Amino acid sequence: MKIIIIGAGKVGRSLAESLSSENHEVTVVDTNKDVIEDIVNTCDIMGICGNGALYGIEEEAGARSADLVIAATDADEINLLICMLAKKLGTKHAIARVRNPEYEHQLRIMRDDFGLSMAINPEKATAREIARVLRFPTAIKLESFAKGRLELLEYLIGKGSRLDGVALADLSSSVRARVLICAVEREGHVTIPSGDFVLKEGDTIYITASSGELRNFFSHLGALRAGVSSAIIAGGSNIGYYLAKELKDAGIKFTIIDKDPARCRFLSEHFPDELVINGDASDIELLAEEGLSKTDSFVALTGIDEANILLSMYAVKHGVGKVVSKVNKRSFADLVSRGALTDTIVSPSAITADRILQYVRSMRTSPENGIRTLHQLVGGRVEAVEFIASAQTGLTGKPLSVLSIRDDILIAAIVRSNGRIVIPDGSSEIEDGDSVIVITMDKTLTALPDIVRRGGAKK
């Protein structure tokens, strides 16, 4: 497909790298010449230096014949203008990154006027991800499939864990829960494991199951932690605002600390029953006064990655039960993950790129057989993809054991249309209307039939 990305910041660059690796024809537009030169030298793409909101620049980039324009500049208004202009020029689809909470209602009623195929709010998506792990703090990260019926959880096997030394073939009988470990990261290497794989202390594992089975799993291990009832949020940005809304709806008490007096007034007006403090969240004395060591959770959302990392390390040191840190720079995120310096890391740019990649993949196939949900795991090296099965695929009504499923594919779960979850074995069958969750390192899957070798079912 022919794709134009306007705005080469963190999100734009991440998308350019991912989409160019999938053999799309990608053009990136940005006003910064040095940024364009760097990304062109790094990726196999075209680059144009200029204002992507101008008619001539979009036309030069090829908007008249483009399949998709992605507007990812720092300004919401510019992104909306870019999409309107792209649709006028003839672009088939347009996606805008829109952050301002005040625009949310308008976008619902003016989507067609702006020419939007999709609008994504990185801050709101990030807040929802944080809220999920605060409700299930045992997880490093928690994603959902099949309209929330199935969970995919990231978990670090710690010292003394009962999972140390357990073979996956014995897992269900050992923990008395129907779960599937679908990916393992060990010392920087990623494995989609088979039954003879033996878990070790220090492994980061990815588990699929219903929320009830996950609770049974961790309860049996003695590692289940109750959802949080209080939180301190360091930083009152848009993410902080959206997270506060999520916590309020969940009945979780919270305190927000922010340096900007105007922002604190805004937050106080929207959350009059909660404590909003105008102050520096890096002030150790202030954190102590506000009961850091007594709170259930701490969320670092300042605009500086390094500050978030240090604040999170301090919170962990002082015994906070669940600590979440916003880190956008991938090298920092990898360093923090390897060092287990904080419980959970979230990246708005990575979350945004995930959602847009999901949309791009779904454009390449019919709605009936396309991607419903896509999540990247292990720093983007593995993908968990949800497909909706139909009889047209030729894969329904047959035991998995007779399908020639590719060696690099693992079917992690099947969710029936009635909500029943199947952790599959060789005798399981895919039915029409099922959600099928696939784990793979192949980033070119666009439809469920892609999971089988050419030739289909075994004879």
Contact 330, 379 (CB under 8 A): yes
End-to-end CA distance of the chain: 36
- Whether domain 235-346 has CATH 3.90.550.10: the reply is no
Contact 35, 56 (CB under 8 A): no
- Model pLDDT, residue 340: 61
**Cα-based distances in Å from 109 to 103, 105, 205:** 10, 7, 42
- Model pLDDT, residue 366: 58
- For residues 333 and 361, give the distance between their C-alpha atoms in angstroms, rounded to a whole number: 26
- Model pLDDT, residue 170: 87
- Model pLDDT, residue 108: 75
CATH, domain range 2-120? 3.40.50.720
Looking at residues 28-39, what average pLDDT do you find? 95
Q: What percent of the chain has pLDDT over 70?
A: 95
Banded model confidence at residue 373, pLDDT cuts 50, 70, 90: confident
Highest mean pLDDT among 134-148, 233-247, 356-370, 392-406: 233-247
Looking at residues 341-364, what average pLDDT do you find? 83
Flag whether pLDDT at 457 surpasses 60: no
Nearest Cα residue to 94 out of 123, 122, 63: 63
- For residues 29 and 53, give the distance between their C-alpha atoms in angstroms, rounded to a whole number: 10
- Model pLDDT, residue 291: 92
Query: Which residues contact residue 237 at a Cβ distance below 8 angstroms, ignoring those fewer than 6 apart?
Result: 123, 258, 301, 302, 303
pLDDT digits (tens, 9 = 90+) for 102-119: 887 787 777 777 888 889
Contact 443, 18 (CB under 8 A): yes
Flag whether pLDDT at 374 surpasses 60: yes
Its pTM stands at 0.84
Banded model confidence at residue 360, pLDDT cuts 50, 70, 90: confident
Give bridge partners of residue 68 from the DSSP assignment: 3, 93
pLDDT digits (tens, 9 = 90+) for 254-309: 999 999 999 999 999 999 999 999 999 999 899 999 999 999 999 999 999 999 99
- Model pLDDT, residue 63: 96
- Model pLDDT, residue 368: 58
Contacts 24+ apart (CB under 8 A), 388-394: 388/433, 388/434, 388/435, 388/436, 388/448, 389/430, 389/431, 389/432, 389/433, 389/434, 389/435, 389/436, 389/448, 390/432, 390/433, 391/432, 392/368, 393/369, 393/447, 393/448, 393/449, 394/449, 394/456, 394/457
pLDDT digits (tens, 9 = 90+) for 213-261: 999 999 988 888 888 999 999 999 999 999 999 999 999 999 999 999 9
* One-letter amino acid of 23: N
CATH architecture of 364-451: 2-Layer Sandwich (3.30)
Q: Kindly give the interhelix angle for 348-362 and 122-135, rounded to the nearest 10 degrees.
A: 110
Q: Which two tokens stand for residue 315?
A: 């919170």
- Model pLDDT, residue 459: 43
Flag whether pLDDT at 389 surpasses 60: yes
Flag whether pLDDT at 182 surpasses 50: yes
Highest mean pLDDT among 12-16, 61-65, 318-322: 61-65
- Model pLDDT, residue 341: 65
Helix/strand/coil for 440: strand
The tally of CA atoms less than 13 A away on the side-chain side of residue 59 is 5
- Model pLDDT, residue 6: 97
Domain boundaries, the chain: 2-120, 126-221, 235-346, 364-451
Query: Which residues contact residue 44 at a Cβ distance below 8 angstroms, ignoring those fewer than 6 apart?
Result: 20
Looking at residues 418-439, what average pLDDT do you find? 92
- Model pLDDT, residue 314: 93
DSSP state of 202: T
**Average pLDDT value for the chain:** 89
* One-letter amino acid of 41: N
pLDDT digits (tens, 9 = 90+) for 35-89: 999 999 988 899 999 999 999 999 999 999 999 999 999 999 999 999 999 999 9
- For residues 84 and 5, give the distance between their C-alpha atoms in angstroms, rounded to a whole number: 15
Banded model confidence at residue 201, pLDDT cuts 50, 70, 90: very high
β 435-440/382-388 pair status: antiparallel
Query: Which residues contact residue 422 at a Cβ distance below 8 angstroms, ignoring those fewer than 6 apart?
Result: 413, 414, 415, 416, 428
- The larger pLDDT score, comparing residue 335 to residue 328, is at 328
Angle at 280 between CA 276 and CA 283, to 5 degrees: 120
Helix/strand/coil for 32: coil
Looking at residues 371-388, what average pLDDT do you find? 86
Domains 126-221 and 364-451 share a fold: yes
- The larger pLDDT score, comparing residue 355 to residue 52, is at 52
Banded model confidence at residue 19, pLDDT cuts 50, 70, 90: confident
- For residues 154 and 442, give the distance between their C-alpha atoms in angstroms, rounded to a whole number: 20
Flag whether pLDDT at 447 surpasses 90: no
- Model pLDDT, residue 206: 95
Which fold does the domain 126-221 belong to in CATH?
Answer: Alpha-Beta Plaits (3.30.70)
Q: Buried b vs exposed e over 358-386: b needs ≥16 C-beta within 10 Å?
A: bbbbbbbbeeebbbbbbbbbbebebbbbb
- For residues 408 and 406, give the distance between their C-alpha atoms in angstroms, rounded to a whole number: 5
